[in-house]
Every structure is written in C-alpha cells, then in structure tokens.
Structure 1
Amino acid sequence: MLDFNTIAGVSIPFVGTTLGAAMVFFMKDKIHPLLQKALLGFSSGVMMAASVWSLLIPAMDLSTERGMGKFSFLPAISGLLIGILLLLLCDRLIPHLHLNQTQPEGPKSSLQKTTMMILAVAIHNLPEGMAVGAVFAGLKNAGTEVTLASAFALSVGIAIQNFPEGAIISMPLKSEGISRRKSFLYGTLSGLVEPFGAIAVILLSDFLIPLLPYLLSFAAGAMIYVIVEEIIPEASEGTHSNIATIGFAVGFCVMMILDVALG
C-alpha cells in the first residue's frame, strides 16, 4: 500500500531534479567549468555515502539479524556485484551520450543527441530510485532497523544530489540551441525514472522482503558503478580536479550527517 509518507518520500528526489533543471531559467548559457566539477564531485560524494550508510550497512545488519553471523557480508557482496554487472550491461546495450562527450556509448543508433543525453542521466537515476524504493520497502518489514527518518534522509540526500544533476543536464541542452522551456522539460524528464523505479520496488516488496539485503546492496552496487564509471571521470577531466575532490568530501559529509542524525 502506498501511503502518504511513501509517496512523499519517493517524490522528493524527483523534486530535486526538477528544481535543478529550473536553473536554466536563472543562469547564463553555460555552467562555469569549476562549478560543474564541484557539483559533480558533490553528487558522487552524496551517492557514495548513501551507498555505505543507507544501503550496505543496513543490508549487513539485516543479514546478521536473520542469523547469518560471520557470513552476513555475503548478501551485501552478492547484491553489490550484481548491481555493478547490471549497470555495465545497460551501459553496453542502451545508446547514450555523456556530458562533454562527442561520441555516444552503446550500440549504434539514430537517436538524437538530446535523447541520448537524457538516456545517460536516466541510467544514472534508475538505481537511485530503486535505492529509495528498497529503503521504503524495508519500512514494511518489522525485522529491519529501517526507520521513517532514515528513509527520508536517503530521499533528501539524493534530492540534494539531483539538484546539480538537473542543472547539469538542462544547461548544456540550452547551450546546444534548445529553448529554455524544452531544456527544463528534458532535464525534468531525465529524473522521472526515479519515482517509477522506487514505486515498482515498493509494489513488489511483499515478494522482495526475503531478498531485502540483496536488494539494498544491489542498489548500492548500481550507484557505485555510476560514481566510478561516469561521474568521477567527468569531474576529473582537464585541470582543477581538486575542486571535484573537495566537492566529493562535502557531499559525503552532508549525506553522512543526514543519515546518522536523522536515522
């Protein structure tokens, strides 16, 4: 059952993307390269901290409660590796174009550049939506230590991460000659996969609860893949990569504070 708290929780990350995409109405044609690096670093820091504190640690704690003892790491490792492998497969099978790149990845396609840029962000956002869905699904299981506060902490943390991501997708689209309204719309649509992914996991939660440790770590693995494969290389491109490192540290600390203080 999707109650008010659940609907609100899974919607928060999408709101973050929408607000970020709206920056296209207030900022100049392009994001300053240093600001872009800082935002990318911040995003990766938030995602990494969320993967550890909100997903991997709860997955291992839950496995311990279920009597796995010293082998409580097995579901976490299994889910993490499956998440990484699935995103690797998506990267190979879905045509997409990353920020500041001229050559698309995946199979050859006649899709427009704009569409492939949106697909690249959508691939990033799907595991985030699944992560939020998995945590809210955990609320339905009395055997977990997942609380409403910790679930909302993850949603807020990902929303903070999505704010710069929304701007990073809408601003380059405008610089390509697309109108402000369409750039905003495309930036917003790139985040729509998150609530759908979250709701799908929640609706299937009655069947997935026995697999919750695997599901939590799967979402962590998918997010870690995005961090290592896509965000960090983009943030480290060219000079002044130390700005991205500082952004990573700030993002990691912000998400860690949110999870520990609210959870």
Structure 2
Amino acid sequence: MMTFWGLMIPLLGTTAGSACVFFLKAKIRPSLQKALLGFASGVMIAASVWSLLMPSIDMSEDMGKLAFLPAAVGVVGGVLFLLVLDRSIPHLHLDAKEPEGPKKEKLKKVTMLVLAVTLHNIPEGMAVGVTFAGAVAGNSEITMAGAFTLAIGIAIQNFPEGAIISMPLRSDGKVSKGKAFLYGTLSGVVEPVAAVITILLTSFVTPILPYLLSFAAGAMIYVVVEELIPEASEGDHSNIGTIGFAAGFVIMMVLDVALG
C-alpha cells in the first residue's frame, strides 16, 4: 500500500497544479512561467544526479575503475530514447507556432500540447518506478525513504507543470475550466502507469537496476536541456529562469540528502 501511494504522489502534484485554473483568472505571467520552468528544470537535474546517477555508480563499485560504465551507457540510452519519442510523436510546446514530430499528423492544438507535457512525464514516471522497484527488491543503495523523496520532488516540480498546461488552455477561450483541468491532469497519468509497469517487472529490473536508474536520468536530462531550459531562457529577463533553476536544484538536493 505504501508503494501504491508513493507512485501516486507525482500525479497528485500535477493534479494540484492543474487545479490552479479554478482559482487564478489571468494567464500566467511570462516572468512567473520562466521561474516555474526554471524551478522544474532544477528539480529534475538534481533528481537525476542525487537520486539516480549516484546510486547507479554506487551499485557498480564492484566493477572498479569501470564503475561509471552502467551510468554512462544508461544516460546515452535515455537520451536516445527521448530523442526517438520527440521525433516520432507529434506535439506542440507552449508559445510555439509549429508542432514538432511528424508533420503529416493532423491533431488538435490541445491534444498536441498535452502530448508535449506527457513526453516530459514519461522519464519522471520511469524514475519513480525504478527507485521504488529497487527499494521493494531490498537494494541497499535505494531505501523506501529515498524513493518517497524522489516522488515528492517530482510532485513539487509537477505542480508548476500542471498549471503551465491547464491555464493557457483556459486563457485561449476555447476550453472550459473543467476540460483544462482534465487535460492537465491527464498529462500526468503516464507517470504512475510507467511506474507501475516498472514495479511489475521488478524481478527483471533488479539485475540491470544501475542501467535503468541512469537511463531514467538521461531521459530527464534530455527533457531539461531540449525543452525546459530553452523555454525558461527565451525573451527578456532570462535570469528569472536561472534563479528558479537554482532554487529547484537546492530544494531537491536538500530533500534527497536530508530525507533519503
């Protein structure tokens, strides 16, 4: 039961953020959006390093000087995995005029916006699932407290993501508050789904856990570098995004070290 609620924590963050559409009337100010995107980036990078890559390297100590190998292979694999998804699934980022992915697909703007955020959430769900799988399997490098810490950190950064997807949908005037909230929440459903699949495959996951941890880290890093940081840095006052990044990184690092 603890594991189930742990897997649901990130979705609760997305849902809470999406609920902002009921309480805030205006569209998110560009400066606040930059800060939120930067914050999410900082949390994801810190989680990648402290919760995923470092445990991956620690688990591989018996490889001696090659202890870095599973982490390196996993990161490259995660980046390539997200690159393939990015190229093969049509999606539209906020404030973008042209969709990415296959141009022949004729999808609604709302659908492509939700797909864009869903792509971001896939590696986060994988990360949470892998850490809980490691904790359930009794791996000494991953504790249940550490798994919950990662889930809480992901939920924190999912809050602004939920708001960033639901509020613009509503402000366009074409989507009701209820539908905007629903679309924002649905974009986060992929996280517990990916996590549950990983848990169900625990017996197969355990032998390659170092590779899977770093794979999730690589996928998260791809999302940050390819999408979140550029969106947080474009236009005026890009330093706001940088400050948000620093705040997110520090908060996630403190959570991981203090609670993990």
In the other structure, the counterpart of 1:171 is 167
Is structure 2 residue 63 aligned with structure 1 residue 68?
yes
2:2, 2:63 → 1: CA distance?
32
2:202, 2:230 → 1: CA distance?
35
| Residues 36 and 168 in structure 1, CA contact (< 8 A), matched pair in contact too | yes
Deviation at 1:142, TM superposition (A): 3.1
- Spell out, residue by residue over 1:198-222, the C-alpha distance to the aligned partner (whole angstroms, 9 max, x if none): 0011101111110100000000000
| Residues 17 and 165 in structure 1, CA contact (< 8 A), matched pair in contact too | yes
In the other structure, the counterpart of 2:202 is 205
Equivalent residue letter for 2:136: K
In structure 2, stretches of 5+ residues that fail to align are none
- Spell out, residue by residue over 1:23-43, the C-alpha distance to the aligned partner (whole angstroms, 9 max, x if none): 001112300111100000000
1:243, 1:187 → 2: CA distance?
24
Match among 81, 84, 87 for residue 82 of structure 2? 87
Q: Secondary structure at the match of 1:89?
A: helix
| Residues 78 and 217 in structure 2, CA contact (< 8 A), matched pair in contact too | yes
Is structure 2 residue 144 aligned with structure 1 residue 153?
no
2:60, 2:6 → 1: CA distance?
25
Alignment of 1:1-263 (within 5 A): 4-64=1-61, 67-108=62-103, 109-177=105-173, 178-263=175-260
| Residues 29 and 174 in structure 1, CA contact (< 8 A), matched pair in contact too | no
Equivalent residues, number: 258
2:59, 2:172 → 1: CA distance?
48
1:260, 1:70 → 2: CA distance?
25
TM-score by length of 2: 0.98
- Spell out, residue by residue over 1:80-109, the C-alpha distance to the aligned partner (whole angstroms, 9 max, x if none): 000000100101000000011010000021
1:160, 1:143 → 2: CA distance?
26
Equivalent residue letter for 1:122: T
2:5, 2:170 → 1: CA distance?
30
- Spell out, residue by residue over 1:180-205, the C-alpha distance to the aligned partner (whole angstroms, 9 max, x if none): 11000000000000000000111011
| Residues 137 and 202 in structure 2, CA contact (< 8 A), matched pair in contact too | no
Consecutive aligned runs of 4 or more in structure 1 exceeding 6 Å deviation: none
| RMSD (CA atoms) | 0.7
